[in-house]
Amino acid sequence: HEWKFDNFDRAVTVLGEDHKLQADQLQSALELLGNDTDQLANVIYSYVNLPEGKMSTRKGTGVQLDDLLDEAIARAREEVEDRVEDRLRDDELDEEDIERIARQVGVGAVRYDIVSKQPTKGITFEWEQALDFEAQSAPYVQYVHARCCGILDEAGDVEPVADTDYLTTDAERDLIRAVARLPGVIDEAAEDLEPHQLATYTRELADRFNTFYRECPVLTADDEDTRAARLALVAASKHAMANALDVLGVEAPTSM
């Protein structure tokens, strides 16, 4: 840590809650050695539990991360295969596409479900919640990105034009505000050392986009100017969601 203080303007130590005492001891020792510990921040994470209770290596109830990810991918593949027939897009998914999406959704579900929780709160990992396409989950927000990609693909030669004069409904304005919030949310999450703020933002952005999608036809808008402006808003939503997910370490599928 003394080396860190000499080379960096901020040091963040991430520990499990069972090391809270050691974190306090470390800080006290650094202060006794004459260091300015204002540069040091400790982030203490609670345990990740399963519905049946706390994991314990001593009792043999621990779950290996590789096994967890393999199970997540397998469950995601089942979910994707179940939804293939209900897809609105006319692009056909082959086995390679399904495998790619299953990996993006499965791994994303695990990462997102954990990072979306406040560090100080206990985390209970549940499959149904992590892979729920309708809840605050990776699949829910990833699907918005895929939907944006689908709309932009179907637009063909129509050029998006960012003209807010043609975006006047509450749904459009709410979505514009949500997109514009991204840089501030990232700054605040980094400053507070609370990445869950960004996960919460992706859910809010997804909600705003889905309302816009229901209430504001894009490709069948009444006139060309409105169509082009709404298409630009779809593109902006796509980029905002992709960037937010990238910061969280979650992939943004182009098709689901």
Q: Are strands 11-16 and 40-45 parallel, antiparallel or unpaired?
A: parallel
Please give the DSSP secondary-structure letter assigned to residue 14: E
State the pLDDT at residue 172. 98
Domain 110-248 CATH assignment equals 3.30.360.10: no
Cα distance between residue 78 and residue 52, in whole Å: 23
Segments making up each domain of the chain, as ranges: 2-45, 110-248
Tens-digit pLDDT profile for residues 174-201 = 999 999 999 999 999 999 999 999 999 9
Highest mean pLDDT among 4-8, 81-85, 136-140: 4-8
Tens-digit pLDDT profile for residues 64-122 = 788 888 888 998 888 888 777 666 566 677 888 889 999 999 999 889 988 898 887 77
Instruction: Say yes or no to pLDDT of 127 above 80.
Output: no
